[in-house]
Amino acid sequence: MGKQINVALIGNPNTGKTSVFNQLTGLNQQVGNYPGITVEKKEGICKLPRGLKAHIIDLPGTYSLNASSLDENVVIDLLLNKNDKDFPDVAVVVSDAENLKRNLLLFTQIKDLKIPTILVINMADRMKRKGISLDIELLEKKLKTKIVLVSARKGTGIEELKEQILNYQKISSEPCLNASDMDPEYFNLLRKTFPNQALYKLWLVITHDANFGNIDRGTLTKDANFNTKSVGDLKRLQQKETILRYQFINDLLKEALTINLKNATDLRIKLDRLLTHKIWGYVIFSIIMLTIFQAIYDWSTIPMDFIDVTFASFSEWAKNALPTGPFTNLIAEGVIPGLGGIVIFIPQIAFLFLFISILEESGYMSRVVFLMDRIMRRYGLSGKSVVPLISGTACAIPAIMATRNIESWKERLITILVVPFTTCSARLPVYLIIISLVIPNKTYLGLNLQGLTLMLLYLIGFGTALSGAWILNKILKLKCKSYFVIEMPGYKIPIFKNVALNVIEKTKAFVFGAGKIILAISIVLWVLGSYGPGENFNNAEEIVTLRNQSENISEKHLKEEIASFKLENSYIGIMGKGIEPAVVPLGYDWKIGIAIVSSFAAREVFVGTLATIYSVGSDEEETIKKRMGAETNPVLGGPLFTFASGISLLLFYAFAMQCMSTLAIVKKETNTWKWPLLQLVIMSSFAYLVALIAFQVLK
Amino acid sequence: MITLQEILVLITFLFAVGFMITKFIWKPAFLKPKKKSDKACGAKDCGCH
């Protein structure tokens, strides 16, 4: 096997970089984090001609190498550190045919680092329609590189790109610009002081003060009269650098780029006017959201029922097929029902991400961000807060990380604090099971009531986030300047491959991320529910039989009585009874109390916990929904899951801060435990209060 | 007498508890940024970007 070529995929946001990455790597990709920080790292393997392979890293989108955020620092850290195992043999800069001028700024900077660099001009299929024509030969000559015209949407140009990657050694590593033009005297001094370092690389190291330790200070000549410049002077030089680069790019594009405006259609302008209209914009957004929530319910009923029945049968099969004993019971009553409680929600979660991906891919999401900026401002947030708030519907963790591009610290802090109110996918299993138990599956004015309730819960989450932001904006006495700039990408028909990969990746992350926790909690809960201290637990059979001696009850009923008595006297039963006084006023029993406590680790654990608790000692093959529906309230009698207790539970989960990972990430992003602890106390107390009021009013 | 199945239950239980401790107590408590550069936001760090 030959050497693997390291390729760094770099580009401005919205250039279709990830689409090119998907085309190159297909399913051979994995998503992780950069060590020590929470910036997402996407890497994959691409098969090249002649049996060679390339290791491709999809770096975070950046407009230039003058970093201003953590994401952008990742790009620079990698490009400046030759010792990094991912240091690229070749850089592939992805640009967009419509925004070539802006994209070339980044390209020239990377080229000046003397790394062989290929320029990919993406969305080439739209050039004709937009009236764009390029003199590729001239561009290649002046930029001293190889250019590949690609349409990631249609998959064209990918093979040529692979060929260029394979032949990267033939690409010139000569820089585009002479860095010393910025300040000849200063750069000559730099060259003398660090004779073995590339000049532009030195410049980047100095301006970012990043990786300064990577430079061997022993290389400093003893008599070097080297003085560092002030931050202000460095900023001025950076500005000069940008001006010089744009002069070069403007001169180049004057010759190499022609745009025939007559050919450009004005459909985008018309669509923008409609979708960002101050009334119609919101109406269209509401209709789209309503359709999504209706579809989530309608389309996923059949696969959900199938999964539920399959897991119940699987559990029954395990019990019969494996040798009798506690370990078999652990598998049949603990592990399988617990996992079933998460797998059952795959269809809904996949549909939710399918719709979100389509909205993002089509370019509509940027219009939503723009539209929402008008509302956000009133609540002390920025238009950029919409991205975290919408991402929060998937998971609060990446959403909190996405706040890094909000320039104002106050707006960023407020966004971090309110994001956990938005309905994340972990709440979805709780909502779906409770809604199906307490809201009738009927239609009203053509709308499914269960779907409407789900949408209402999403609106409650979003509304609470906004109200919370408004309050925090009044309380927090931080004065920061804020501005809002967003790029509106062109409208595109979503690429199926991108949407599919996104859905698979997000669903996989949800199932495997939550699955491990649920599996562990299911095991712990089963053990705590199957063993107990004292006489009552050990002699449960005798005690219950003795109690029911005078009554003529069936064997099945007696078995159920024994199982119930054992559970009540198990470790978990004792713990549950301990917290019962706190949850009874909310309409719950001790089993729900235990599920709430265990779901402090992660919300989605709730359903798995109940599935495990209800399965302990049960011989019946039943679905989770049936088991929950059959539970009776020990205090009030009648079904446990009534309209009142169901609504109370839904509202509790809508407001409670039940996610340890979110607390950890808030601590990390704010550098203090103050904010996550405040979040935990305030959100949980508020959730308890609202749930209490709801149950007491509705019961 | 302790059976093989009971030993398996005990091992599985200990693994599960160990996993939970690592996931929720150990890591979050010792979760520290790689380096605290002057770009990191915190407290009243306005315009930190």
A331 touches chain B (CB under 8 A): no
Higher pLDDT, A115 or A522: A115
Give the β-pairing of A90-96 and A29-33. unpaired
Supply φ then ψ for residue A338, to 5 degrees: -65, -45
Taking 90 as the threshold, does the pLDDT of residue A468 lie above it?
yes
**Contact criterion met (CB < 8 Å) for A671 and B39:** no
Q: Give Cβ neighbours of residue A474 (< 8 Å, ≥ 6 apart).
A: A380
Instruction: Work out the average pLDDT over A149-177.
Output: 88
Q: Which of B19, B36, B47, B45 is nearest to A668 (CA)?
A: B36
0.95 exceeded by the pTM?
no
**Residue in A57, A108, A61 with CA at minimum distance from that of residue A86:** A57
- Give B25→chain A minimum CA distance, Å: 9
The stretch A283-294 carries a mean pLDDT of 84
Please list every residue in chain A whose beta carbon sits closer than 8 Å to the beta carbon of residue B44: 409, 478
Cβ within 8 Å, pair B46-A669? no
Of the ranges A114-128, A398-412, A419-433, which one carries the lowest mean pLDDT score?
A: A398-412
Structure tokens at A147: 């250019």
| Helical packing angle, A267-275 and A280-321, nearest 10° | 80
- Span between the terminal Cα atoms of chain B, in Å: 65
| Distance (Å) from the alpha carbon of B4 to chain A's nearest alpha carbon | 9
Residues of chain A in contact with residue B34, where contact means CB-CB under 8 angstroms, are 35-37
Res A283: pLDDT: 93
- Among residues A419, A407, A395, the alpha carbon closest in space to that of A469 is found at A419
Nearest CB among B9, B31, B35 relative to A330 is that of B9
Contacts of B35 in chain A (CB under 8 A): 36
Instruction: Give me the pLDDT at residue B38, please.
Output: 39
Residues within 8 A of B (CB atoms), A 440-469 only: none
Q: Does B3 touch chain A (CB under 8 A)?
A: yes
Query: Counting one residue from A and one from B, how many pairs have CB atoms under 8 Å apart?
Result: 102
pLDDT surpasses 90 at A658: no
Most confident listed range (A211-215, A218-222, A375-379): A375-379
Stretch 81-110 of chain A: residues touching chain B, C-beta under 8 Å: none
CA dihedral A9, A10, A14, A15 (to 10 degrees): -70
Lowest model confidence (mean pLDDT) among A250-254, A297-301, A465-469: A297-301
Chain B (4-43) residues lying within 8 Å, Cβ to Cβ, of chain A? 4-6, 8-9, 12-13, 15-17, 19-20, 23-24, 27-28, 31, 33-43
Task: Please tell me if residue A481 touches chain B, with a CB cutoff of 8 Å.
Answer: yes
Of the candidate ranges A49-58, A484-493, A643-652, the one whose mean pLDDT is the lowest: A484-493
Question: Chain A: nearest CA to B26, how far in angstroms?
Answer: 11
Q: Chain A contacts of B33, Cβ < 8 Å? A: 36-37, 668, 671
Chain A residues near residue B24 by CB distance under 8 angstroms: 601, 660
Chain B positions touching A658 (Cβ under 8 A) are none
B2 interaction partners in chain A (CB closer than 8 Å): none
- What is the value of ipTM here, to two decimals? 0.70
- A176 and A248 Cβ atoms separated by less than 8 Å: yes
Res A396: pLDDT = 80
pLDDT at residue A197 is higher than 80: no
pLDDT exceeds 90 at position A697: yes
User: What are the two backbone dihedrals, phi and then psi, of residue A151, each rounded to the nearest 5 degrees?
Assistant: -125, 100
**Largest separation between any pair of C-alpha atoms in chain A:** 105
pLDDT of residue A211: 37
Which residues, in sequence order, are CB contacts of A686 under 8 Å at separation 6+?
A655
Of A368, A391, A367, A385, the C-alpha closest to A470 is A385
- Looking up tokens 């079933």, which residue turns up? A340
Q: CB count, 10 Å around CB of A447?
A: 14
* B48 contacts in chain A (CB < 8 Å): 409
Residues of chain B with pLDDT under 50: 32-49
Of A141-150, A151-160, A470-479, the range with the highest mean pLDDT is A141-150
pLDDT at A162: 92
What pLDDT is stored for residue B47 in this prediction? Answer: 38
When comparing pLDDT for A685 and A502, which is higher?
Answer: A685
Q: In this predicted structure, what is the pLDDT of residue A38?
A: 45
**Residue A413: closest C-alpha in chain B:** B42
Nearest CA in chain A to B29: A664
In this prediction, residues A586-593 reach a mean pLDDT of 87
> How high does pLDDT run on average in chain A?
81
Q: What's the pLDDT score for residue A484? A: 62
The answer to whether A417 touches A675, Cβ cutoff 8 Å, is: yes
pLDDT of residue A209: 58
Give the distance, in angstroms, between the CA of residue A221 and the centroid of all CA atoms in the same chain: 48
Q: What distance in Å separates residue A333's CA from the closest CA in chain B?
A: 13
Note the pLDDT tens digit of each residue in A431-446. 988 998 899 888 887 7
Instruction: Determine the distance in angstroms separating the CA of B8 from the nearest CA of chain A, rounded to an integer.
Output: 6
- Rounded distance between C-alpha atoms, residue A552 and residue A150, angstroms: 80
Chain A residue at shortest CA distance from B22 = A517
Considering only CB atoms, B49 lies closest to which of A68, A326, A327, namely A68
| Contacts with A433 (C-beta within 8 Å, 6 or more apart), sequence order | A607, A624, A625, A628
Percentage of chain A beyond pLDDT 70 is: 87
CA of A511 to nearest chain B CA: how many angstroms apart?
16
pLDDT, position A359: 86
- φ and ψ of A93, to 5 deg: -95, 120
Higher pLDDT, A612 or B1: A612
Q: Is A225 on the interface with B (CB under 8 A)?
A: no
d(CA A224, CA A231): 21
Tokens encoding A480: 């920061």
**pLDDT above 50 for A294:** yes
Query: Which residue type is seen at A698?
Result: L
- The model's confidence at residue A665, banded by pLDDT at 50, 70 and 90, is confident
- pLDDT for the residue A337: 78
A258 compared with A107, residue with greater pLDDT: A107
Whether the predicted pLDDT of A37 surpasses 50: no
Q: Quick one: closest CA in A to B26, which residue?
A: A664
* Residue at B8: amino acid letter: L
